[in-house]
Every structure is written in C-alpha cells, then in structure tokens.
Structure 1
Amino acid sequence: MIDEFLDLPAGALSDVEDAVRKAAAAEIMPRYRQLATHEIVEKNGPHDLVTVADRAAEEHLTASLTALLPGSVVVGEEAVHADPTVYDALRGEAPVWIVDPVDGTRQFVHGEPGFCTLVALARRGEVLASWTYAPALEEMAVAVRGRGALLNGEPIRAGAPAPGAPLRIATSHPDYTTPEQKHALLGLSVDGVSPRPCGSAGLEYLSVARGDLDAVAFSWEYAWDHAAGLLLVTEAGGAHLTSTGEPFRIIGGNTLPFTAARDAATARKVVELLTV
C-alpha cells in the first residue's frame, strides 16, 4: 500500500488533493483570462510558453508537497528548465513529486478551459499516485497504484473501444516532432483510425481513462507531462507501450513515439501502426 511504503500519515492522499486545489485557487485561477502580455514568456519558441501562473503555482506546490512528505523532492517543469540537473532526482532514492503546474499553457494563455495541474508521486522510477486537476472544468482525477482511478470521487474505467468504430487517437503536435517521429505518426493515417493533434496531455490521458478517447500517441518523454496520466490510464484498466513494445519509463530512455490506450489490445495495435 502506498501509505505503508512511504510511511505517509493517515489522510495524506486527501491532503495532497487539497494542496493541489489550493495552489490552483491561489496562483492559477486568479490569473485565468487576466494575464498581461509581460506575464507570458516564450521558453523555446512560440509554442513553448510559460506564464507567471506556471511559476507561482510550482513554487506553491513545491512548498506544500515537501511539507506533507519530509525528505521528498520535487521535479517540476519550471525548476528543470532553470536547472536541468533537477531531473536527476527521478533516479534517486528519495520520494519525488513530479509537477506540471499548468499543463496546457497555450490553452491557458488563450483563455480556454482545457488546462490542468498534474502531480504524481514516484519512487525509484515507479509512479505510486497521481492527481490531475482541471480547475476551470471542476474535474479532479486521482489514481493510486493498485487501488484504481477516481474522477470527482467516482470510479472510472476506460473499457474497450467500440467494435468497428474508428480509433480516436490524440497525437503529438507536428511542431514538436522530429522528421523520424512525423514519419512514424503517419502510420496512424489509415482507414479505421481518426487521429488529431493533442491539447493538454494531462486532459488527453483523462479522456482515455474515462473512455472518451481511445488512445494517445506522443513523441516526447518529459515525466511531468506523462507520469500522472499514465498511472491514471493504467488504474482505469488501460495500458501503455513504447514503439519497442515495452512499458513507458518515467526515468527516460524510451523509444518514441509511445502510446497509452483504453486496453492492451488497442495499445498493441497503435504500436504496430507506429512501427510500419
């Protein structure tokens, strides 16, 4: 059990949920549709944005989460951008909080509701619990390894895709892929498959976990984008595979693209299409 493994105090899981909600309420939602131009910065080009909300929310979560679990560390998107060596904590012995303060920053900047805060708790490369919170949509998904997945307190199951219906797959945006990855993703442009560019990765994973989307196919491996969603999909009955047929590893070194799908059969089919 996660509580016993990490020696967490009683109620710690709900305390994490409260911490995520409080960070969003304090640092994200007051800035939703209120951002000034100077509060939006390009990190690595026009498609890679960061806002004052991203940075403030990550700082808020770093303080609150490490207080909940003494001895833990945080691997956050903005901290790693400032110091890439922070990422090395994923391979260490300490429990790690993996944080994406605003997943879907582009949507957040445009005043759209399709963004979320992602938090996952991992140790030795294994994701133990995750929280996916979409404050503008009032949705909180929680997954705990071996205990299943919940959305707003109710169990969710991915189920199998409808027989005979086109597979609905969200894929990496072309701007974020290498020529080789673009070629692999072209394998999804066949009869019986309906691909589209993804939005917030966290919310695409939630769509798979609740059965509204059949699979995702992504070409990057930053842990903050995937750790929470991969556990959510797995605990909802789904599966994930890299292009070599192995499960995705949050510590990196994966063969890309990879997929997460509503069931194992769909994951295998997507990988086959990606490797044709």
Structure 2
Amino acid sequence: MIKDNETIEEFLDRHAVDVEEAVRKAAAQEIMPRWRRLAEHEVDLKSGPHDLVTDADRKAELYLTEALTALLPGSVVVGEEAVHANPTSYEAVRGEAPVWIVDPVDGTRQFVHGDTGFCTLVALARRGVLYASWTFAPARHQFATAVRGKGAHLDGERLRAGSPEPGRDLRVATSHPDFTTDEQKRSLLALRTEGVAPRPCGSAGLEYLAVARGESDATAFSWEAAWDHAAGLLLVEEAGGTHLTRAGEPFRITGGNTLPFTAARDAATAQRVAGLLSEGA
C-alpha cells in the first residue's frame, strides 16, 4: 500500500514485483488451466461474433481486482469485463484515484482457438499518466514490464525498439475492418501505399510488444479502450518509441482522441504513419 506522502513511483519501487507475481498467479490459476480445455458453456458472445468472453477472462479479472486493490488500498480497477457489466465504471480512468487498467485475456479469440497469441495486460495510471505496465504471454513464456522513466524489459532484458531498416516496407499492424467506421476504414486504407506493408492485428498487447522489440514497426488502431492500449503504450514509450493520433497528438488513455492512431518504433515512423492516416480521412 502507499504510505503517508509516498508517491506512486515509491510504491512501485517496493511493489512492482508483487504486481508481477499477482499477474503470474492469475494466469496460473484462472487462465492456463482453461487454455485448450474450454467447454462450450465457458465461452460467450458479448457484442458480436468477434467479441468473445470466457470464464478465464471473468475469473482472472476478479482475481486481479482483489489482488491489486489489496496491494494499493484506495486504488480502483478498470477491467474489460467489469466495464462491460457496468459501463459507468470506465470513468475511473479519468478520476483522481490510482487506477489499475486490466485486460485479463487480451486476444480472447486466439485463446478460444487454442493459439498462443494472447496475454494478460495490467497498467497503473493516475490522472491519465501511465506509471507502469505488465504484459504476460503465458503460453509463450514471455513477461514484459515498463516503468515510467526506467525503461522497458522483456524477461529481464532491456527493450530498445530502434528504427526500421532503411529501404524496406514498414510493417504495420492494423485494426480489423469489422471494428472501424467508414471514415476510419478510409483512413486505414491510406496505409496501402508504396513503402508500407499493413496487415491485420492480433492481440493488441502482443502487437505493442512486437513494436517495442523492433519486430514490427508500428500499429494503426481505431478504438480507444484503455485496457487494450495502456500497458502497450508505456512499453513502446519506454523502449524508445512514441505514439500519435491522426491529428498528430499523443494518444490519451482518458479518451477524446482523433482516430485511428499509431504507436511506432521511432518518431519518424510515427509521423509517417499518422500522416498517412490523416491523408486518408
């Protein structure tokens, strides 16, 4: 818990490892025992055929909600499944209390299909500022962390996104068209141009990790849900990358962004992708 007059940074110095342990336990107890073993009654649809939820999502989020708020009394959780049940709870992202932003299973579709491309995402923020993030891909045995001002790491090794190699097409992961408006579709179509190689995205958290590792050059996403983006945005930033909306502004987890937006390995790539998105709108 935060002691009297203690800052979030000081809290993280003492408890970042405890958050990691909570994320690992949630995966070990609630997610991995159900991977490739889901019964039909453990999978439901939310808003459409691509928007799935499982018992693993629900139970892992409940576990993390209890564990994280116990570590930091007075904090609140904005989790994907709780917000689905009570949309007004999303307002806590804009509030004064420290907020844990949680996606218990990012890439639920991949999880349901038995693929390894899913992860658990946790970020800690306050007043719209991201302080730390945890990205755990348990089926791939990968754990990435980021702390504001202290860098990003994957399994203990420092991440540095670097810059794309000159002369090759930019590798950009883009939103699925089913989740875009007509205007956003036009914007994303502008990426189909010389020097850019767009492809459909998988788990948002793992796409951010790919950018932070320098395996992918950028993302181009058309939705704002903080649980999909918060952890990855800080991971990319602390690896040396940056993010911009179509309007040329940094993405805000509190909302009100001009979409689509990009997170990229370096400033030049972000400006290139954001410029194309703007031209296409």
**TM-score category (smaller protein):** over 0.9
Q: Does 1:173 align with 2:176?
A: yes
Q: Matched residues in 2 for 1:196 and 1:131: separation?
A: 25
Alpha carbons of 1:45 and 1:8: their partners in 2 closer, same or farther (altered >3 Å)? same
* TM alignment of 1:1-276, pairs within 5 A: 4-6=6-8, 7-8=10-11, 11-276=14-279
Q: Matched residues in 1 for 2:96 and 2:224: separation?
A: 21
Tell me the secondary structure at the aligned position of residue 38 of structure 1: helix
Alpha carbons of 1:10 and 1:172: their partners in 2 closer, same or farther (altered >3 Å)? closer
Identity rate, percent = 72
Q: Matched residues in 2 for 1:22 and 1:171: separation?
A: 31
Letter in 2 for 1:215: A
Alpha carbons of 1:86 and 1:191: their partners in 2 closer, same or farther (altered >3 Å)? same
Q: What's the CA shift string for 1:204-242, capped at 9, x where partnerless?
A: 000000000000000000000000000000000000000
- Cα distance, 1:10 vs structure 2: 5.3
Q: Matched residues in 2 for 1:194 and 1:92: separation?
A: 39
So what's the TM-score if we normalise by structure 1? Answer: 0.98
Letter in 2 for 1:92: G
Letter in 2 for 1:127: L
Alpha carbons of 1:150 and 1:10: their partners in 2 closer, same or farther (altered >3 Å)? closer
Letter in 2 for 1:70: P
Structure 1: any 5+ residue segments left out of the alignment? none
Moved over 4 A (4+): none
Q: What's the CA shift string for 1:11-70, capped at 9, x where partnerless?
A: 300000000000000000000000011111000011000000000000000000000111
Alpha carbons of 1:225 and 1:181: their partners in 2 closer, same or farther (altered >3 Å)? same
Tell me the secondary structure at the aligned position of residue 275 of structure 1: helix
CA RMSD of aligned residues (A): 1.2
Letter in 2 for 1:121: L
- Cα distance, 1:5 vs structure 2: 1.9
Tell me the secondary structure at the aligned position of residue 249 of structure 1: coil
- Cα distance, 1:91 vs structure 2: 1.2
Letter in 2 for 1:28: I
Q: Matched residues in 2 for 1:49 and 1:274: separation?
A: 29
The count of aligned residue pairs is 275
Tell me the secondary structure at the aligned position of residue 135 of structure 2: strand
Structure 2: any 5+ residue segments left out of the alignment? none
